[in-house]
Amino acid sequence: MFGWLNIDKPQGITSRDAVNVIQKLVAPAKVGHAGTLDPLATGVLVLGIGPATRLISYVQQKPKKYRARFRFGWQSPTDDIEGPASPVEGPLPSREELEEVCRKFVGRVEQVPPDFSAVKVAGQRAYHLARKGTKPQLQARTVEVYSLELVAYEPPEWEIVVRCGAGTYIRALGRDIARRLDTAAIMVSLRREAVGNFTLADAVPLEQYRHVEDVLAHMIEPIVALGEWPQIMLDNSQQRALSNGQWIRLAPAPHGARELVAVNAAGQPIAILERAAGGKFRPVINLAPPGSSMAES
The answer to whether 197 and 190 have CB atoms below 8 angstroms apart is: no
Tell me which residue of 270, 274, 246 sits closest to 260, measured CA to CA: 274
Virtual torsion, Cα 16, 22, 26, 27, nearest 10 deg? 30
The three-class DSSP label of residue 214 is helix
Q: Which of 206, 267, 284, 208 is nearest to 47 (CA)?
A: 206
80 in active site: no
252: preceding bond cis by omega (within 30 degrees)? yes
SS3 content of the chain, % helix, strand, coil (to 5): 25, 35, 40
In b/e form, how buried is each residue of 191-201, taking b as 16+ CB within 10 angstroms? bbbbbbebebe
- Which class for 272: exposed (0-12), middle (13-18), buried (19 or more C-beta within 10 A)? buried
- Residue 229 exposure: Cα atoms within 13 Å on the Cβ side: 23
Catalytic hit among 38, 79, 115, 176: 38
Residues taking part in catalysis: 38
